[in-house]
Every structure is written in structure tokens, then in C-alpha cells.
């Protein structure tokens, strides 16, 4: 049992990691990642399978590899000649959901660092599915469906553009823009044990982190959506860059953030947020994917400081006081079980030193931050 546990931990340590100092969210994250790694079962739907592919890619499981995952193969086998993902006689709404999730999953494989040859082989099924989706999605569909379709089409457009298919990329971008304009943006953050809103409200079954379908069975699809939602919340892809902690609220003032090894279009990225009184300090880094020519990202932090941007592979900056905190006194750095950085310590030094003393702060060779900012 000890060897199995050690092997599991070694496997997980190389994946994307998120630590916002929120113990409840952290437990749900750990369980959901485990669900995603185990994968879908016989009772899981095609939509669930697609969400698992997407989450695995976003965690970094496909970096540098081809796309021969068994779950990807299942989805490709279900693609019809006209492009949709589904079986004859299925409800149209279900086919739309499956096709939306499929397009998003293939786009995520590119974000996740799949090798260029494999990505190029996916362009035809991606284009067919995206075209079918845009033609058959009713503009009066639920806002969540329109928003999900817009996001999926946008990821497909990014992939096509990066793979030197500018006409296809531009066409998909126009389709994404039209769908996005028709849908109010959904709030994308985890709001506690009873609400997750990557697409719509999700329910938690059990004490913590056990996702359930409507019939009460555990659902790997919901676990996968949760993983993707958390990653989008801490580091979201924009058309030309990356947005840091886009789901931050003033209730999290003083809370630290550490994310590492997160795959993005621009490479593996890492971010840390520390606090100097009521002002957040952001430390960021991205390591480009080998063999790709994607530009250096434009970094932003729209919720922390909308005025800040930086176009660099790595750096650090002290942001302005977030608008919701202006005039408020007594904002303290806080971390689960730790007070964060203390007066006189550089961003991250105090917490990192105390973590190291406790055996929790060692840098991994795969850590995108790698201790560079201490």
C-alpha cells in the first residue's frame, strides 16, 4: 500500500497544482483530480468522457504526447459524417451538449501541450464538429449552452490559428464571437460546497468533493468540470494572453495563491500572489512549449488590478490596491494555518520558509515557479 501511495503522489506531483489556502476547495480539488485520473466508467455519458479529456489535458497529462488516449478514441468513433458527436435517435439537446464538449476537449488538447503532429490530425474532426455545432445551436438556447459553445469555438479558433490555418481560425473566431454576443457570461467560480458554476449549478454529494449526477451516482464528468472551472478561475486564457485569478473577490483579500505547471497555449505557467497590506504582489512565469512559435502572453489581473498588464515570459509586480478594498483597514495576509508573509519579508519568502521548515515547501523540477521568485 505504501508503494502504491508513493507512486500515486509522484504521478500527481507533475500535474497542474492549485493552492489558494482554502482547505475545503483543496479537498474537493484533490478528490476531483483523482476521479479524472481514474477516468470514466461504463455508465458515464459521451459528454462526461469529453469533459474528462478536457480536464486531463488541462492538468498536463498530454504534454508532448500524441492524442491516442482511449477516451479520445471513443469520442472520435462516435463522430458522424456531418460532424456531430452522438448516436442515431439521440435527443438533439444531448447531441449539442456532446458536440460542444467534444470541440472544447480537442481545443484543450492543444492547450495541454499535445505534440503538433497529433494536433494537426485533429483539425479535420475539430472543424467538422465546430461547423455542425454552429449551424445547429439555436440562438434561443439556454445561456449556459450558448456560453459553453462560444468558449469551445474560441478554443478551436486558437488551435487552428496556432497551427497555421488562419482562414479556419478566423472563421471559427467569428462564429465564437457571434455565439458569445448572444449569451450573457456565466459566473465561473466555486462558491462553496453546494455551488459550482462552470456551466450551470452543480451539486455536491457526500461530505466533500464527491460529485453526483441527477440520479445520485458519482459522476466523473462533474469532477472534470470542477477541475476545469478551478483552473479557469486562477489562470484563464484570453485571446492574446493569460488572466490571473479572474474569480478573485474581496472576501479573499489577503489570501495567498500558488499555482504551478498549468498548461496554456503559451506553455506551462506558474503564478503566485502575496499581499503587502492591502496591495497584492503577483509573480508569474511561463515556459514555452518546445517547437511552437506562439507569442509571449500578455498578462493581466482584471479582478485584482484592471490597469495592469505585462508582456513577459516571467516577472513580478506590486499591483494597486483592489477597488473593493479602498478605504478598508486591517487587510492581513492569510493562508490556511499560516499568516502568510510577515512585515519585512519579500513576497512569498516568509510563507515559503515556514513551509520548507514543515517539509511542504520543496521545489519540484517540474514546478513552473521553481523557486525563481524567492
Residues 4-16: pLDDT tens digits?
666 666 667 779 9
- How far, in Å, CA of 212 to CA of 7, rounded? 28
Contact 188, 197 (CB under 8 A): yes
Over residues 241-262, mean pLDDT = 92
**How many C-beta atoms surround the C-beta of residue 68 within 10 A?**
9
Q: How many Å apart are CA 246 and CA 243, to the nearest integer?
A: 6
- Is the model's pLDDT at 330 over the cut of 60? no
Strand 257-264, strand 17-19: pairing: antiparallel
**Is there a contact between 347 and 339 (Cβ–Cβ < 8 Å)?**
no
Rg (CA), the chain: 20
List all residues 6 or more positions away from 198 whose beta carbon is below 8 Å from its beta carbon. Answer: 188, 225, 226, 228, 229, 232
How far is Cα 373 from Cα 361, in angstroms, rounded to an integer?
Answer: 13
349 — pLDDT class (breaks 50, 70, 90): very low
Q: Could you tell me which of 92, 17, 46, 42 has the C-alpha nearest to residue 270?
A: 17
Q: Give the model's confidence band at 323: pLDDT under 50 very low, under 70 low, under 90 confident, else very high.
A: confident
Kindly list the domain boundaries of the chain, sorted by start residue: 17-238, 241-357
Tell which wins on pLDDT, 366 or 121.
Answer: 121
Which single residue is written with the C-alpha cell 496591495? 279
Residue 276: pLDDT band with limits 50, 70, 90: very high
What does the alpha-carbon distance between residue 315 and residue 229 come to, in Å, rounded to a whole number? 26
Task: Provide mean pLDDT across the span 243-259.
Answer: 91
First to last CA, the chain: 36
Specify which of 229-233, 325-329, 332-336 reaches the highest per-range mean pLDDT: 229-233
Q: State whether residue 120 is helix, strand or coil.
A: helix
In angstroms, the CA 328 to CA 317 distance is 22
Task: Give pLDDT tens digits for 185-222.
Answer: 544 443 333 334 433 333 333 333 445 555 556 679 98
What average pLDDT does range 253-282 have in this prediction?
95
Mean pLDDT, range 335-349, rounded to an integer? 42
3-state helix, strand, coil in the chain (%, to 5): 40, 20, 40
Residues 330, 335, 336, 338, Cα dihedral to 10°: -90
Contact call for residues 11 and 61 (beta carbons, < 8 A): no
Residue 328: predicted pLDDT: 56
- Rounded mean pLDDT, 217-236: 89
Amino acid at each position: 500500500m505504501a508503494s502504491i501511495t508513493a507512486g500515486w503522489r509522484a504521478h500527481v506531483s507533475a500535474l497542474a497544482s492549485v493552492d489558494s489556502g482554502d482547505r475545503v476547495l483543496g479537498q474537493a480539488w484533490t478528490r476531483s483530480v483523482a476521479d479524472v485520473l481514474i477516468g470514466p466508467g461504463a455508465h458515464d455519458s459521451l459528454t462526461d468522457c469529453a469533459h474528462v479529456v478536457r480536464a486531463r489535458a488541462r492538468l498536463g497529462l498530454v504534454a508532448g504526447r500524441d492524442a491516442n488516449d482511449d477516451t479520445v478514441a471513443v469520442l472520435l468513433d462516435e463522430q458522424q459524417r456531418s460532424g456531430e458527436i452522438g448516436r442515431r435517435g439521440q435527443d438533439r439537446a444531448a447531441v449539442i451538449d456532446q458536440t460542444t464538449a467534444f470541440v472544447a476537449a480537442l481545443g484543450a488538447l492543444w492547450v495541454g501541450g499535445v505534440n503538433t503532429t497529433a494536433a494537426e490530425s485533429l483539425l479535420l474532426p475539430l472543424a467538422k464538429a465546430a461547423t455542425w455545432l454552429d449551424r445547429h445551436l439555436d440562438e434561443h438556447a439556454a445561456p449556459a449552452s450558448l456560453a459553453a459553445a462560444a468558449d469551445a469555438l474560441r478554443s478551436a479558433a486558437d488551435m487552428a490559428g496556432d497551427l497555421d490555418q488562419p482562414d479556419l481560425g478566423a472563421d471559427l473566431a467569428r462564429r465564437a464571437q457571434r455565439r458569445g454576443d448572444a449569451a450573457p457570461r456565466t459566473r465561473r467560480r466555486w462558491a462553496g460546497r453546494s455551488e459550482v458554476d462552470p456551466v450551470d449549478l452543480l451539486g455536491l454529494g457526500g461530505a466533500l468533493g464527491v460529485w453526483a449526477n441527477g440520479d445520485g451516482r458519482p459522476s466523473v464528468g462533474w469532477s472534470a468540470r470542477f477541475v476545469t472551472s478551478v483552473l479557469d478561475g486562477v489562470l484563464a486564457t484570453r485571446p492574446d494572453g493569460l488572466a490571473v485569478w479572474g474569480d478573485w473577490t474581496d472576501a479573499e483579500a489577503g489570501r495567498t495563491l500558488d499555482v504551478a505547471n498549468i498548461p496554456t497555449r503559451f506553455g506551462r505557467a506558474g503564478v503566485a500572489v502575496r499581499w503587502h497590506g492591502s496591495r497584492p504582489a503577483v509573480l508569474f512565469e511561463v515556459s514555452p512549449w518546445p517547437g511552437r512559435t506562439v507569442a509571449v502572453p500578455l498578462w493581466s489581473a482584471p479582478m485584482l488590478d484592471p490597469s495592469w498588464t505585462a508582456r513577459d515570459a516571467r516577472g513580478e509586480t506590486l499591483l494597486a490596491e483592489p477597488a473593493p478594498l479602498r478605504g478598508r483597514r486591517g487587510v492581513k495576509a492569510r493562508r490556511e494555518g499560516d499568516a502568510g508573509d510577515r512585515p519585512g519579508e519579500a513576497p512569498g519568502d516568509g510563507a515559503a520558509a515556514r513551509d520548507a521548515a514543515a517539509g511542504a515547501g520543496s521545489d519540484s523540477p517540474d514546478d513552473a515557479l521553481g523557486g525563481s521568485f524567492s
